[in-house]
Structure 1
Amino acid sequence: MLSVVVAPWVGDSKPVFVHNPDELHEAASTMKIAVLAALCRSGVSLDAEVPVVNRFESVVGGEFGNDPDRDSDPLPWELLGTHVPLRLLAERMITHSSNLATNICLARTTQRAVADVWRRAGATHSSTPRGIEDHAARAQGVHNRVTARDLVRLLRSLAGEPELLGLLACNEFRVDLAAGLPANTRIAFKNGWIPGTRLAVGVVQAADCPPYLIAVCYTGPLADGTDRTDPAARVIARISKAVWDRRDQISRAVLPARPAPARPAPARPAPPRPAPPRPAPLRPAG
């Protein structure tokens, strides 16, 4: 299953291209955008030092932990048992897609706050009801799932939070959406991967056209779950390039239509001039 949504970044412009936009996919690490937004909007100090632990409460009761072999970022694991600024963990959650950092950040906010992020974005199908690797919850049917349309809505909802978009621009895993763009093209994005699913959403900022949003979600056998060599990542890269090559069409969708030039009123014929009075006939004097 492949889902694609492309939309102008400006305002609440409608998508210019959709393909299976409302099909549900496993969220993988794209849910970390919602966790980041909930954390930053909560008012908690990101400079506060928090313990680095690997025990978390399951939403169905009991506890669970993350598997270091399934994490793409070794740094938080090296910090286990220490205290670090929450900001460091929030950054690693996005830039290196750390699962351990994500669950620590999620524990510093609430599931209700994350749900509110989706609600404020206008999402209609997506949700993040559990932490990463909460297998007991998953077994009971509690899933983190997203649609391409909702991912576009989620990213657009960050328009007034440039610091969050700036962090998304530092994403280290540039093998899918970013790989389809010319070098040095700015893109603020988050991707995710698990066996069977690869997906990504980003806002592309080109020098020669207005910014645009793109979300691509793939569920199928090509997705092998690797972070950088996933064959499904190359599929997303090709789609990203195809959209880039047609970026002028996205631009036209947001340019206001020019009013037709006013036509001059047709000239009215001048009224006929009255005939000059005839001179009175001469009368003989006498």
Structure 2
Amino acid sequence: MAAMLSLAVAPWGRPPVLLRNADVPHYAASTMKIAVLAAVHRSGLDPDRQVPVVNCFPSAAGGSYAHCRAEDGDPEPWARLGGTAPLGWLAERMVRHSSNLATSLCQSAVGHPAVAEVWRRAGASAASGSPRGIEDAAARAAGIDNTVTAHDLLRLLESLEPAVLAQLEHNAHAVDLAAGLPPGTRLASKNGWVDGVRHSAAVIHPPDAPPYVLAVCYTGPLANGQDADDPAARLLARLSSRVWARRHHLAQVA
């Protein structure tokens, strides 16, 4: 497997200061959940609205798909299968614990066009989008795929409302980019990984420098699909640490 590393860095609200392979598309993995979260926020739907918790969803290729419980790291939405759950709670599980089941329930609640509009409003390129559910295998086999670039992840984070960014501060997976920062550093982040893929994007708030945005996408053999014990995660942590060391200079370069 050939490796591709993409990176984008920008002071918050300023143009990028570093773009490396930043417009190369990668499989999005769970980073697409950022756009779903924004779509839920902008939908105007009551976060207390009760959503039926089911495991059958329309496929973008026709027919339907279901999630594999063993592939989902968050058991809480599965515990409500056959019942209901508040939409806001599902959105929180989607980004805090990266629940795949909660993601499809949120996507179904707002609709795929609303998620596409999030990418459009962010100014994302045609290389990024999330037209299918995260485990919609039939759609992927038909060439309908969720893809992203590091540059578009940066754009997406920059486009988010403060309330959405606040939800991303509760990401429980403090690995890759977060692991390269001093303990306790404030950040709003979302990562994603499967075998062969490790991505992470974050707004980082140093206590002694202006905030900045960092997005890294890696596709290659280092990514073993594990949560924390992943060589690719350690690579992203090293990159994060190097950017952190230059945090005082980022705004001067822009």
TM-score scaled by structure 2?
0.97
1:69 counterpart residue number: 70
Give the one of 6, 11, 19 matched to 2:9: 6
Equivalent positions of 1:136-215 (< 5 A) are: 136-158=138-160, 161-215=161-215
Q: Which has the larger radius of gyration?
A: 1
How far 1:251 sits from its partner (Å)?
A: 2.5
Task: Give the 4+ runs in structure 1 shifted more than 2 A.
Answer: none
1:81-101 deviation digits (Å, cap 9, x = unpaired)? 111111111000000000000
3-state SS of paired residue (1:97): coil
1:93 aligns with 2:94: yes
3-state SS of paired residue (1:214): strand
Cα distance between partner residues in 2 of 1:135 and 1:84: 25
3-state SS of paired residue (1:221): strand
Report if aligned partners of 1:27, 1:145 keep a CA contact under 8 Å in 2: yes
Report if aligned partners of 1:64, 1:134 keep a CA contact under 8 Å in 2: yes
Equivalent positions of 1:1-286 (< 5 A) are: 1-10=4-13, 13-124=14-125, 125-158=127-160, 161-253=161-253
How far 1:18 sits from its partner (Å)?
A: 1.2
Q: How many residues align?
A: 250
How far 1:79 sits from its partner (Å)?
A: 1.3
Cα distance between partner residues in 2 of 1:227 and 1:109: 28
Cα distance between partner residues in 2 of 1:58 and 1:173: 28
How far 1:69 sits from its partner (Å)?
A: 1.1
Higher strand share: 2
Show structure 1 runs of 5+ residues with no match: 255-286
Structure with bigger RCO (C-alpha 8 Å, 6+ apart): 2
Cα distance between partner residues in 2 of 1:115 and 1:85: 23
Cα distance between partner residues in 2 of 1:78 and 1:225: 25
Show structure 2 runs of 5+ residues with no match: none
State percent identity of aligned pairs. 57
Higher helix share: 2
1:163-211 deviation digits (Å, cap 9, x = unpaired)? 1111100000011111000011100000000110000000000111110
Letter in 2 for 1:210: P
1:282 counterpart residue number: none
3-state SS of paired residue (2:24): coil
How far 1:253 sits from its partner (Å)?
A: 3.2
Cα distance between partner residues in 2 of 1:116 and 1:84: 25
1:258 counterpart residue number: none
